[in-house]
């Protein structure tokens, strides 16, 4: 089922939680809604579920306007962060509950519960009560309960945030497997960008009630449409410098001759480079090591280079020679820079120098890419 949200604005008193949002989730797609705390993710999901009463906007499923349809008739399954399974009921009773409310026939009910329990892998937990389950098991029961009515749309609000790191990685893969198996249109709300990149077909980055970027995980990482998305997606975070500020000296030196083209691309420019695209390079810009952080497989190097603070992801072999205060030199491959309009935050692409350009071969028109 295709889900379209159009012109959604939600205000809570003086707070605008969602601000004119338009978003389409394709049939069978897993769309991740990411963004910092308070940016309006849960409110948007609540609108799709039908829980948000103060909303202005339109919601359609396929081409049917369902804005006025009450929540229980929307054919939606949802799982929230706190599991929300009933503590006084067994696993079987929890999963069966939505079917009882819908007054399904006994035989059909038994079959539906057994099928979904099998699918989600909780068949052998049926007689237990929630307090006898692990966090991951409880989350699976919540998922089974959300799926038992075979909803058209699955809404997941931070479903993994109560789980430990290992279980989170394992459970997110299970969710993805199930979602693909059932071909279920799914919206996953998370503040964890790595979770979104790992399992979503597309990622929507929200900021202050708006979608500031929407693309596949690969595209949002490689070519973020806005500065906010560039800073939010990717860990460790992208290095960014406003060329108008003194602290951008490293970028100005490293860009060298290309700087003229960059400056033509917008009145003000913020440049960015991901830490893995900053290389140790004896012929690069010299600086000193400020801090060496071990991240596991990689090492995150913080360096002071030409008065700029630069983060670089390097290998342990490279880092073995690096100590706080040691000399270091870094460079960036010319293709690995990102450019953003300092005012709007939109991505800009400096075009290659135009052959007809009479100004001396640099610059030319500039395309702003959304």
Task: Please work out, in degrees rounded to the nearest 5, the angle formed at the alpha carbon of residue 283 by the alpha carbons of 277 and 286.
Answer: 80
The residue among 17 and 319 lying less far from ligand ATP, judged by its C-beta, is: 17
Tell me the closest approach of the beta carbon of residue 191 to ligand ATP, in angstroms. 5
The residue among 36 and 135 lying less far from ligand ATP, judged by its C-beta, is: 36
Name the residues that contact ligand ATP, by CB under 6 A.
Answer: 12, 15, 17, 35, 37-43, 191
Tell me the closest approach of the beta carbon of residue 324 to ligand ATP, in angstroms. 35
Lookup: tokens for 60 = 């359609």
Residues in CB range of 164: below 8 A, 6 or more apart: 135
Tell me the closest approach of the beta carbon of residue 206 to ligand ATP, in angstroms. 7
Residue ranges in 16-164 assigned as alpha helix (H): 41-49, 91-101, 106-120, 135-147
Q: For residue 49, which of 27, 75, 18 has the smallest C-alpha distance?
A: 75
Tell me the closest approach of the beta carbon of residue 356 to ligand ATP, in angstroms. 48
DSSP labels, 52-85? -TTEEEEEEETTEE-TTS-GGGS-EEEEETT---
Residues in CB range of 24: below 8 A, 6 or more apart: 2, 3, 4, 5
DSSP labels, 268-323? SEEEEE-GGGEEEEEEEEEEEEEEEEE-SSSEEEEEEETTEEEEEEE-HHHHTT--
The residue among 15 and 352 lying less far from ligand ATP, judged by its C-beta, is: 15
Tell me the closest approach of the beta carbon of residue 368 to ligand ATP, in angstroms. 27
The residue among 29 and 157 lying less far from ligand ATP, judged by its C-beta, is: 157
Residues in CB range of 173: below 8 A, 6 or more apart: 198, 199
Q: For residue 93, which of 121, 126, 118, 124 has the smallest C-alpha distance?
A: 126
Q: Given the structure tokens 């991951």, which residue do they identify?
A: 136
Tell me the closest approach of the beta carbon of residue 203 to ligand ATP, in angstroms. 15
The residue among 42 and 239 lying less far from ligand ATP, judged by its C-beta, is: 42
Tell me the closest approach of the beta carbon of residue 193 to ligand ATP, in angstroms. 12
| Rounded distance between C-alpha atoms, residue 34 and residue 19, angstroms | 16
CA distances from 134 to 121, 128, 137, 139, 369 (A): 14, 11, 5, 9, 46
The residue among 35 and 130 lying less far from ligand ATP, judged by its C-beta, is: 35
The residue among 8 and 230 lying less far from ligand ATP, judged by its C-beta, is: 8
**Dihedral in degrees, nearest 10, Cα atoms 192, 165, 144, 43:** -20
The residue among 37 and 356 lying less far from ligand ATP, judged by its C-beta, is: 37
Q: Are 256 and 344 in contact (CB under 8 A)?
A: no
Tell me the closest approach of the beta carbon of residue 43 to ligand ATP, in angstroms. 3
Tell me the closest approach of the beta carbon of residue 189 to ligand ATP, in angstroms. 6
The residue among 54 and 288 lying less far from ligand ATP, judged by its C-beta, is: 54
The residue among 17 and 112 lying less far from ligand ATP, judged by its C-beta, is: 17
Tell me the closest approach of the beta carbon of residue 40 to ligand ATP, in angstroms. 4
Is 115 exposed, middle or buried, given 0-12, 13-18 or 19+ CB atoms closer than 10 A?
middle
């Amino acid at each position: 089922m295709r889900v379209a949200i159009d012109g959604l604005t939600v205000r809570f008193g003086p707070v605008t939680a969602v601000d004119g949002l338009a978003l389409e989730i394709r049939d069978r797609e897993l769309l991740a809604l990411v963004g910092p705390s308070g940016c309006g993710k849960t409110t948007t999901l609540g609108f799709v579920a039908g829980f948000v009463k103060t909303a202005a906007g339109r919601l359609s499923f396929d081409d049917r306007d369902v804005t006025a349809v009450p929540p229980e008739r929307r054919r939606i399954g949802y799982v929230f962060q706190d599991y929300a399974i009933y503590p006084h009921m067994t696993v079987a009773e929890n999963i069966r509950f939505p079917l009882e409310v819908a007054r399904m026939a006994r035989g059909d009910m038994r079959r539906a519960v057994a099928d979904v329990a099998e699918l989600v892998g909780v068949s052998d937990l049926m007689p237990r009560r929630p307090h006898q389950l692990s966090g991951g098991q409880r989350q699976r029961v919540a998922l089974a309960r959300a799926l038992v009515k075979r909803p058209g749309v699955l809404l997941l609000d931070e479903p993994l945030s109560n789980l430990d790191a290992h279980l989170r990685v394992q459970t997110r893969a299970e969710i993805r497997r199930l979602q693909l198996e059932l071909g279920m249109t799914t919206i996953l709300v998370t503040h964890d960008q790595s979770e979104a990149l790992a399992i979503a077909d597309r990622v929507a980055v929200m900021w202050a009630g708006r979608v500031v970027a929407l693309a596949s995980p690969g595209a949002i990482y490689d070519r973020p449409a806005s500065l906010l998305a560039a800073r939010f997606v990717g860990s460790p975070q992208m290095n960014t410098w406003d060329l108008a500020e003194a602290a951008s000296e490293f970028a100005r030196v490293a860009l060298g001759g290309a700087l003229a083209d960059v400056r033509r691309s917008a009145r003000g420019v913020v440049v960015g480079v991901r830490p893995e695209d900053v290389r140790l390079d004896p012929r690069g810009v010299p600086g000193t090591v400020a801090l060496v952080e071990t991240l596991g497989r990689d090492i995150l190097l913080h360096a002071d280079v030409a008065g700029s603070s630069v983060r670089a992801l390097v290998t342990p072999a490279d880092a073995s020679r690096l100590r706080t205060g040691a000399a270091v030199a870094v460079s960036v491959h010319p293709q690995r820079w990102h450019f953003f309009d300092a005012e709007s935050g939109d991505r800009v692409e400096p075009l290659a120098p135009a052959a007809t350009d009479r100004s001396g071969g640099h610059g030319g028109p500039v395309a702003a890419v959304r």
